[in-house]
Structure 1
């Protein structure tokens, strides 16, 4: 098998990139990281050669190209079944797919008003009713999933899987903006941050020199 190559954006800001990167690093997959700073000439020049969609992340496996974070995670789960990307039990697997798809397609108000910024530490600024509904819905998903399927460990389905990778950027948002959380959700955020792979991502984010005003000035 050829060595995997994952093209990502800034670690500070690219929530979509975090998902497959975290899953791959946590599971010890050997891959080359190609980082293209967002909103840069380098990004604009190289992305057309690397991604059919013109966006990150994108995975290269030899001649095969897979883009979109959820599609990449699905591909990796098929490529490496022992990683247990999805739960084994059929009902749990269906739920994991549902909540991952909901994260992938939904929560527009949360995304727009609380964009991921790994270096941010502040109290929650004024947000819309829609963003507050998104926050409550996500906490409900985490709480109910953990109660039903989380006996085997600190993650949504016990072990770290695709659903956790999909929600990891939300944990960064919640901590960075000081979102008040219930006890179960706070424990889940702490579990995400305790991952060595997550700490590696955060260290990479802290080392970046690029700062994008559209992410840095929100709420100030």
Structure 2
């Protein structure tokens, strides 16, 4: 599907979890879009992003004359503009839960983010984790198990079909693989389903091919 002037501005595919979330949601709409990648953590990065985004952060979506920044706002806008994509579950209870778990990921899990920075091309087993990070990992598994049990009968994702909630937890799937986080059978099956989607595999392949390395994410 073609749409005039659809542009997504993102950061490095290996490191930018927020960019991955928006990109996966946009891919699910099926529309053609231009992708602009701004390398992160360089002297020119801030100015380069500000040339596109008033927040000075990625991702940013441009749809025609409209600019939308912040990954959750981008996802909500895409769900509104492209209802046929099914970016939120159709049933009201499932949709309310999907919004809640997506917002929880968007706003929280800071200890997990600090302990397990996204680095899709790396394999870093045995990285030490503090108790607060372990608590975050347990909460993620609780969310995945609950959603799969209550709403996942129609498919392999949290709410059966792939939704914004899966896009928001996709970077966590990558983090768990990078750091060899042990998961329950239910959670591992879900993580494998997300990892094996063609869109996720395309993003990972591009991440592996990136030349830039950011030292603080490579420890």
TM-score calculated relative to the size of structure 2: 0.96
**Match in the other structure for 2:4:** 2
Q: Distance in 2 between matches of 1:159 and 1:64?
A: 28
Whether contact under 8 Å (2:60, 2:69) holds in the other structure is yes
Deviations 1:83-135 (A, max 9, x none): 11111111111100110000000101001110100011121311110000000
**Match in the other structure for 1:31:** 33
> Aligned to 1:76, which of 78, 93, 97?
78
Cα distance, 1:43 vs structure 2: 2.1
1:122-137 equivalences in 2 (<5 Å): 122-137=124-139
Query: Which consecutive unaligned segments of at least 5 residues does structure 1 have?
Result: none
Whether contact under 8 Å (2:29, 2:78) holds in the other structure is no
Whether contact under 8 Å (1:36, 1:42) holds in the other structure is no
Query: Which consecutive unaligned segments of at least 5 residues does structure 2 have?
Result: none
> How many residues in Structure 1 have an aligned counterpart in Structure 2?
217
Structure 1 residues 26 and 197, CA gap change in structure 2 (3 angstroms): farther
Q: Please say if 1:44 is aligned against 2:43.
A: no
Q: Distance in 2 between matches of 1:144 and 1:128?
A: 25
**Match in the other structure for 1:63:** 65
Cα distance, 1:42 vs structure 2: 4.1
SS in 1 for 2:51: helix
Deviations 1:133-164 (A, max 9, x none): 00000000000100000011000000001000
Cα distance, 1:2 vs structure 2: 1.9
Cα distance, 1:25 vs structure 2: 2.2
TM-score calculated relative to the size of structure 1: 0.96
Q: Distance in 2 between matches of 1:63 and 1:124?
A: 47
Whether contact under 8 Å (1:12, 1:117) holds in the other structure is yes
**Match in the other structure for 1:177:** 179
| Consecutive aligned runs of 4 or more in structure 1 exceeding 6 Å deviation | none
Q: Distance in 2 between matches of 1:73 and 1:83?
A: 11
Q: Please say if 1:158 is aligned against 2:160.
A: yes
